[in-house]
């Protein structure tokens, strides 16, 4: 392949004056692939795992000014199916050369999209697999679903395929082509499949459990036609979002400006949506808050210790690629209103360019009230509607869906929220048996307890690159002369000086949060400007430290981690977690216990959603939520939301009392005068 292509001219991409963080275009990915193919380094069975922008050094990006030319580079991972070797390459698109080529020994890169299909096809054609299914009375292979679970690492048990690129496949059965097969798990059969050689290594059969037969269908045709107990409800009237003058944001390339916010959008196969250079316009200048923010890892450890289930520990970012699995979003279904979509481009494993249309959705949402006060003496009401900007993507990982949402608010708040939906993982059980480690969700069908543990990496730069982090919690003042009525309490703030001091857990009963401050930038009260990380729902990891998954994803054991910035420390589980035996991520990054005081630092936050399945989560799970916020805490001198204008009253229909428009439009008639506010004096 390399020799044949060497006859052609290498495509050339000149240095451009576009922003250095603009993602690779389809043409640039094609050029990177072509330059590598012509370099003579690729064997005939080489495949492209990913090709992404090699992000220029931070100093170059921050020092860039419009018009300046910055060389373009691609970072490419390559897997050679012939010998299983993995390579990293950096390709200069500007110079049409390979500037770095390195064999990375002892690692497995994440899965490639076409490997999923190769695995399913080969496993279904395998005689030993077919024999195991025949023992269970299953002969129609067209109705069998083979899901490619990552193989992980389980000590001695995994040793026989230690140096192979393997999946651990599990199977489900549809009753007909449109049926939800996850209702019918084929319990007791697992397949070790080698992706390099495309062969079944081992079929593990631990014995049959009766196939659950109850249907678990949710698709429209089953609700409206086949179900005798339910049909679509008929009382839902249309709800439309109208923005007659269009959205309030502007987009240039991948740069977004909305209200006083500005940031850039990127997208990678592993992380999905990446936000860069988040800043807020204040006093005529853009004040930086974060340099780079992305979900960097997630793990879903299952809690059933049974042999068929303890292998379920999917690393959806590092093993599968949450960005690679992103949906093409649809107007009116996934997002509502005036939408701006962004496409992404990725390298197909055989060197093609994959255009992923509409993977990122951006739109505005009304979010209730932003602030309000009624001066009950003058009867003047001031109320503002809250508008938020939503930037999101949704991925399908086998049976599950995850939506990832960044929200920007007019009061300087940034919020991150994950929406969990899709179909729960299932197993078969003897109907009516006790189900200690899960919930029976249909007769003979159960879903194991599990957690969804996410980690979001935030490269902070609150008003500049050098920041410090404080832990803050509340304490009661001891009873005594300083606290005669026993009511006194205070927020205690402690500087976190080292990486080990920053490894912390949430503590909602003490009101714990963390503050990222810039000791060199003071607000008008003379205090260092800060943003605070306000946790939301969270739980601890319910795996022992000795668990195999804990040894590979140690980040789960702490909610907060802080590291000094290192350009190649990007992932909580390290660069190559697929089939990893040890953790090369946060536990390794932090082992020297570096200083994190007054330096360029990165905050890593772990959010763990604990999922004890409910029958109501079946057959398709209504969205569950988990998230956190970054809120200005002394970053501004007062509320930055005072200049949000009142809403025009015309958006209310004539049947309402008109009370939420401009300041004096009908309050006298709406009952406020008579409801006791005038007389009670205090709230
Ligand atoms: Co779940």
Q: Show me where the domains of the chain are located.
A: 3-103, 113-226, 249-632
- Note the pLDDT of residue 666: 37
- Note the pLDDT of residue 671: 37
Q: CB atoms < 10 A from the CB of 598, how many?
A: 15
Q: Are 50 and 16 in contact (CB under 8 A)?
A: no
- Ligand 1 centroid to residue 467 C-alpha, Å: 36
Half-sphere exposure of 117 (CA within 13 A, CB side): 3
Q: To 5 degrees, how large is the angle CA 75–CA 81–CA 83?
A: 105
Residue list, CB under 5 A from ion ligand 1 = 611
Cα–Cα dist 129/72, whole Å? 48
- Ligand 1 centroid to residue 451 C-alpha, Å: 6
Is 72 exposed, middle or buried, given 0-12, 13-18 or 19+ CB atoms closer than 10 A?
buried
- Ligand 1 centroid to residue 285 C-alpha, Å: 43
320-336 residue pLDDT tens: 999 999 999 988 788 88
- Ligand 1 centroid to residue 170 C-alpha, Å: 18
Q: Which residue has the higher pLDDT, 679 or 102?
A: 102
- Note the pLDDT of residue 13: 57
Which residue, among 261, 678, 612, 288, has the nearest Cα to 462 in the 3D structure? Answer: 288
Q: Kindly give, in sequence order, each residue whose CB lies less than 8 Å from that of residue 497, ignoring residues fewer than 6 positions away.
A: 595, 596, 597
HEC string for 196-207: CCCEEEEEEECC
CATH architecture of 113-226: Roll (3.10)
Q: Are 32 and 51 in contact (CB under 8 A)?
A: yes
Cα–Cα dist 355/557, whole Å? 37
Range 74-86 burial, b when 16+ CB lie within 10 A, else e: bbbbbbbbeebbb
pLDDT grade for 255, boundaries at 50, 70 and 90: very high
Q: Is the pLDDT of residue 7 over 50?
A: no
Q: Is the pLDDT of residue 660 over 70?
A: no
Q: To 5 degrees, how large is the angle CA 448–CA 451–CA 454?
A: 150
- Note the pLDDT of residue 653: 44
Cα–Cα dist 67/19, whole Å? 9
Q: Are 327 and 335 in contact (CB under 8 A)?
A: no
Per CATH, 113-226 and 249-632 having the same topology is answered no
Share of the chain above pLDDT 70, in %: 92
Catalytic annotation, residues: 316, 400
Cα–Cα dist 157/154, whole Å? 6
343-362 residue pLDDT tens: 999 999 999 999 999 999 99
Q: Are 76 and 44 in contact (CB under 8 A)?
A: no
- Ligand 1 centroid to residue 36 C-alpha, Å: 41
Integer Rg of the chain from CA: 27
- Ligand 1 centroid to residue 616 C-alpha, Å: 12
Question: What mean pLDDT comes out for the span 277-281?
Answer: 98
Q: Is the pLDDT of residue 682 over 50?
A: no
Cis peptide before 619 (omega within 30 of 0): yes
Which CATH number, 2.60.40.1120, 2.60.40.10, 3.40.50.300, 2.70.98.20, labels domain 249-632? Answer: 2.70.98.20
Which residue, among 43, 35, 30, has the nearest Cα to 8 in the 3D structure? Answer: 35
- Ligand 1 centroid to residue 607 C-alpha, Å: 13
- Ligand 1 centroid to residue 452 C-alpha, Å: 6
Both structure tokens of 586: 């946060």
Question: What mean pLDDT comes out for the span 662-667?
Answer: 38
pLDDT grade for 14, boundaries at 50, 70 and 90: low
Against a cut of 0.85, is the pTM above it? yes
Cα–Cα dist 40/50, whole Å? 19
Which residue, among 122, 107, 82, has the nearest Cα to 1 in the 3D structure? Answer: 82
Both structure tokens of 436: 């200690």
Q: Is the pLDDT of residue 672 over 90?
A: no
Q: Please tell me the least confidently modeled range out of 196-210, 225-239, 410-424, 441-455.
A: 225-239
- Ligand 1 centroid to residue 611 C-alpha, Å: 5
Q: Is 3.40.190.290 the CATH number for 3-103?
A: no
Cα–Cα dist 678/391, whole Å? 43
Q: Please tell me the least confidently modeled range out of 91-100, 237-246, 498-507, 643-652.
A: 643-652
- Ligand 1 centroid to residue 496 C-alpha, Å: 33
pLDDT grade for 17, boundaries at 50, 70 and 90: confident
- Note the pLDDT of residue 623: 98
Q: Please tell me the least confidently modeled range out of 6-10, 19-23, 272-276, 504-508.
A: 6-10
Question: What mean pLDDT comes out for the span 153-181?
Answer: 96
Q: Please tell me the least confidently modeled range out of 181-190, 216-225, 593-602.
A: 216-225
Cα–Cα dist 577/581, whole Å? 8
Q: Are 165 and 195 in contact (CB under 8 A)?
A: yes
- Ligand 1 centroid to residue 614 C-alpha, Å: 10
281-315 residue pLDDT tens: 999 999 999 999 999 999 999 999 999 899 999 99
Length of the chain: 683
pLDDT grade for 221, boundaries at 50, 70 and 90: confident
44-56 residue pLDDT tens: 999 999 999 999 9
Cα–Cα dist 73/97, whole Å? 10
For tokens 């990006």, name the residue.
61
Cα–Cα dist 114/131, whole Å? 26
β-strands 255-258, 353-375: how paired? unpaired
β-strands 340-347, 427-428: how paired? unpaired
- Ligand 1 centroid to residue 583 C-alpha, Å: 24
Range 639-661 burial, b when 16+ CB lie within 10 A, else e: ebbeebeebeeeeeeeeeebbbb
- Ligand 1 centroid to residue 562 C-alpha, Å: 27
Mapped onto helix, strand or coil, the DSSP state of residue 155 is: helix
**E strand residue ranges, 174-228:** 185-194, 199-205
Which residue, among 261, 245, 262, 264, has the nearest Cα to 253 in the 3D structure? Answer: 264
- Ligand 1 centroid to residue 346 C-alpha, Å: 28
Range 195-209 burial, b when 16+ CB lie within 10 A, else e: bbeeebeebebeebb
Question: What mean pLDDT comes out for the span 413-419?
Answer: 98
Share of the chain above pLDDT 90, in %: 88
- Ligand 1 centroid to residue 293 C-alpha, Å: 24
Mean of per-residue pLDDT scores for the chain: 92
- Note the pLDDT of residue 648: 76
Q: DSSP labels for 578-620? A: TT-SS--SHHHHTTT--B-SSEEEEEEEEEEEEE---GGG-SS
């Amino acid at each position: 392949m390399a020799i044949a292509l060497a006859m052609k001219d290498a495509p050339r991409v000149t240095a451009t004056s576009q922003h250095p963080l603009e993602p690779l275009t389809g043409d640039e990915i094609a050029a990177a692939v072509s330059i590598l193919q012509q370099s003579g380094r690729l064997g005939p069975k080489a495949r492209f795992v990913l090709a992404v922008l090699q992000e220029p050094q931070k100093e170059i990006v921050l020092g860039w000014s419009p018009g300046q030319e910055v060389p373009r580079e691609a970072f490419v991972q390559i897997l050679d199916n012939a010998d299983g070797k993995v390579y990293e390459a950096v390709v200069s698109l500007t110079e049409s050369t390979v500037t770095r080529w390195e064999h990375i020994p002892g690692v497995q890169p994440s899965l490639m999209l076409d490997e999923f299909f190769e695995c399913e096809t080969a496993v279904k054609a395998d005689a030993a697999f077919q024999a195991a299914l025949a023992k269970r009375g299953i002969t129609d292979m067209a109705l069998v679903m083979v899901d490619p679970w990552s193989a992980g690492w389980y000590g001695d048990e995994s040793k026989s395929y230690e140096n192979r690129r393997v999946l651990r496949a599990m199977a489900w059965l549809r009753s007909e082509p449109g049926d939800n097969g996850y209702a019918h798990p084929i319990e007791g059969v697992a397949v070790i499949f080698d992706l390099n050689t495309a062969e079944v290594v081992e079929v593990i059969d631990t014995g049959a459990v009766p196939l659950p037969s109850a249907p678990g269908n949710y698709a429209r045709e089953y609700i409206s036609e086949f179900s005798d107990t339910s049909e679509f409800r008929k009382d839902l009237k249309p709800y439309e979002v109208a923005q007659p003058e269009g959205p309030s944001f502007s987009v240039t390339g991948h740069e977004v400006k909305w209200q006083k916010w500005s940031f850039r959008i990127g997208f990678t196969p592993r992380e999905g949506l990446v936000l860069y250079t988040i800043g807020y316009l204040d006093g005529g200048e853009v004040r930086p808050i974060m340099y780079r923010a992305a979900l960097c890892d997630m793990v879903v450890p299952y809690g059933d210790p049974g042999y068929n289930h303890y292998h379920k520990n999917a690393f959806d970012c590092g093993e599968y690629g949450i960005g690679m699995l992103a949906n093409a979003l649809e107007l009116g279904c996934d997002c509502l209103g005036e939408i701006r979509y962004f496409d992404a481009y990725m390298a197909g494993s055989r060197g093609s360019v994959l255009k992923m249309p509409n993977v990122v959705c951006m739109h505005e949402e009304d979010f209730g009230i932003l602030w309000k006060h009624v001066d009950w003496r003058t009867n003047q009401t001031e109320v503002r509607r809250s508008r938020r900007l939503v930037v999101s993507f949704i991925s399908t990982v086998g049976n599950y869906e995850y939506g990832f949402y960044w929200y920007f608010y007019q009061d300087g708040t940034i919020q991150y929220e994950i929406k969990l939906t899709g179909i729960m993982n299932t197993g078969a059980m003897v109907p009516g048996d006790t189900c200690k480690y899960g919930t029976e969700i249909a007769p003979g069908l159960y879903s194991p307890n599990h957690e969804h543990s996410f980690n979001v990496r935030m490269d902070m730069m609150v008003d500049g690159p050098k920041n410090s982090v404080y832990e803050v919690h509340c304490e009661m003042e001891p009873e005594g002369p300083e606290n005669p009525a026993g009511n006194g309490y205070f927020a205690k703030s402690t500087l976190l000086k080292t990486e080990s001091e920053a490894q912390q857990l949430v503590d909602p009963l003490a009101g714990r949060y963390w503050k990222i401050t810039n000791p060199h930038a003071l607000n008008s009260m003379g205090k260092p400007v800060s943003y605070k990380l306000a946790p939301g729902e969270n739980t601890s990891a319910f795996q022992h430290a000795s668990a195999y998954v804990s040894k590979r994803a140690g980040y789960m054991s702490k909610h907060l981690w802080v590291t000094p910035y290192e350009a190649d420390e990007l992932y909580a589980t390290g660069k190559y977690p697929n089939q990893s035996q040890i953790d090369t991520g946060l536990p390794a990054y932090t082992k020297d216990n570096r200083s994190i005081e007054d330096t360029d630092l990165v905050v890593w936050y772990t959010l763990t959603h604990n999922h004890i399945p409910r029958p109501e989560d079946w057959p398709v799970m209504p969205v569950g939520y988990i998230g956190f916020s970054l809120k200005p805490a002394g970053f501004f001198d007062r509320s930055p939301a005072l200049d949000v204008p009142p809403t025009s009253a015309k958006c209310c229909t004539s049947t309402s009392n008109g009370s939420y428009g401009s300041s004096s439009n009908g309050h006298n008639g709406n009952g406020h005068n008579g409801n006791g506010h005038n007389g009670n004096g205090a709230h």
